Amino acid sequence: MTVCAEQHVNFIHSDAASLLNDIEQRLDQLLPVVSERDLVGAAMREGALAPGKRIRPLLLLLAARDLGCTATSAGLLDLACAVEMVHAASLILDDMPCMDDAQLRRGRPTIHCQYGEHVAILAAVALLSKAFGLVALAEGLTATARADAVAELSHAVGMQGLVQGQFKDLSEGDKPRSADAILMTNHYKTSTLFCASLQMASIVAEAPGETREQLHRFSLNLGQAFQLLDDLTDGMADTGKDAHQDDGKSTLVNLLGPQAVEAQLRDHLRCASEHLLSACQDGYATHHFVQAWFEKKLAAVS
C-alpha cells in the first residue's frame, strides 16, 4: 500500500470512528431513563447502547456521504439511529427463551436475563415504535422521502424481512435443508435490514434508480457475507454471544464445511464490492470500510 493510500484508509477509519461516536451520542439522547423504576427505558438503553458493531447505521451514514451528502444532518443521523433501534429490538426478541434462548449478547447477559421476559418484550416493542417515529419526523427530508424511508424500514422488519427470517430459522433450522433454503433464510434474517439501510441513504441523497438498484445488489451480497461470517465464528470464544449456538442446525458451515463457506463468503464480498463501486463512483469510504472490517474478522477465523 502506498503512503497516500494508507493515509486515505486511515482517514476513512477516523471518519467512521467519528460517525460511530455521533450515533452513540444521539442514541444516548434519544433513550433517557426517566427514573430508577423505569425498567423498560433501562432495557431499551441496554439493548441499543451496549457495545456493538453498529455496522448498519455506519453504512447508512458512509453511503450517504459517498452518494453526495457532504454533511451528516440531524435527520440523517436519526435515520441511522432508527436502524440501530430496529436491529436492537430484533436481537432482544431473537434471544428470548421461546426463540433462540440465548444467555449472552454483546458480552453481557441478554435483556430478558437482566430485566425479565415481560420487560424485554415491552422494550423491543418500544424500540420499534421509537424507530418508526424517528423516521417519520426526520428533519430535512420531504414528506415523500420520510414516507419512502418508513416503507423501506417496514419492509425490512415484517414478513419479507426479519420476522420471516426468524420464523424460518426456528421452524426449519433444526431440519435438513438445501444450500438455497439456507441462503434464503439468511436473506430474510440479515440482508433485508442492510437493504433498508442503504436504500434510506439513497433516499436522503436523492439517488437515481440505477444507483439504488446497485445498492440493493450490494446489500444482498453483503448480508449473505455477514451471515456466513457469523456462522464461521459460531464456536469462537470472543464473539460476545453464546458459543456453539449452531450445533445441530442446518447452516452452510455444517452442510459444506468452513473452507467452502469462507470461499463463498469472499465471493459474496467480491460481488458486493463491484455493485458498491458502480453505485458510488465518486466515493469510496463505504467500500474501504467494508473491506477493512471483513479482512480483520477473516484474519481471526483463518
What local confidence, expressed as pLDDT, does residue 256 receive?
94
Element containing residue 104 per DSSP (H, E): strand 104-105
Helix (H), strand (E), coil (C) string for 167-199 = HHHHHHCCCCCCHHHHHHHHHHHHHHHHHHHHH
Which set of grid coordinates corresponds to residue 87? 436491529
Which set of grid coordinates corresponds to residue 21? 461516536
What local confidence, expressed as pLDDT, does residue 242 receive?
74
Least confident segment among 5-9, 18-22, 175-179: 5-9
Band (10; pLDDT cuts 50, 70, 90):
low
Length of the chain: 302
Give me the mean pLDDT over the 55-72 stretch: 93
**For cell 430474510, what's the residue?**
188
What local confidence, expressed as pLDDT, does residue 12 receive?
54
Give me the mean pLDDT over the 30-55 stretch: 94
pTM of the model: 0.93
Dist CA 195 CA 219 (whole Å): 5
Which set of grid coordinates corresponds to residue 153? 424500514
pLDDT in tens, 143-160: 999 999 999 999 999 999
Band (235; pLDDT cuts 50, 70, 90):
low
Name the amino acid, one letter, at 124: A
Name the amino acid, one letter, at 179: A
What local confidence, expressed as pLDDT, does residue 188 receive?
97
Residue 13 has pLDDT above 70, yes or no: no
Helical ranges in the chain per DSSP H: 3-30, 39-49, 55-66, 74-94, 111-115, 117-136, 143-157, 162-172, 179-186, 192-205, 209-232, 252-256, 258-279, 285-301
Give me the mean pLDDT over the 92-117 stretch: 96
pLDDT in tens, 181-223: 999 999 999 999 999 999 999 999 999 999 999 999 999 999 9
C-alpha closest to that of 145 among 93, 195, 76, 94: 76
C-alpha closest to that of 204 among 10, 69, 98, 34: 69
What local confidence, expressed as pLDDT, does residue 31 receive?
97
Residue 245 has pLDDT above 90, yes or no: no
CB count within 10 Å of CB 128 equals 20
pLDDT in tens, 117-145: 999 999 999 999 999 999 999 999 999 99
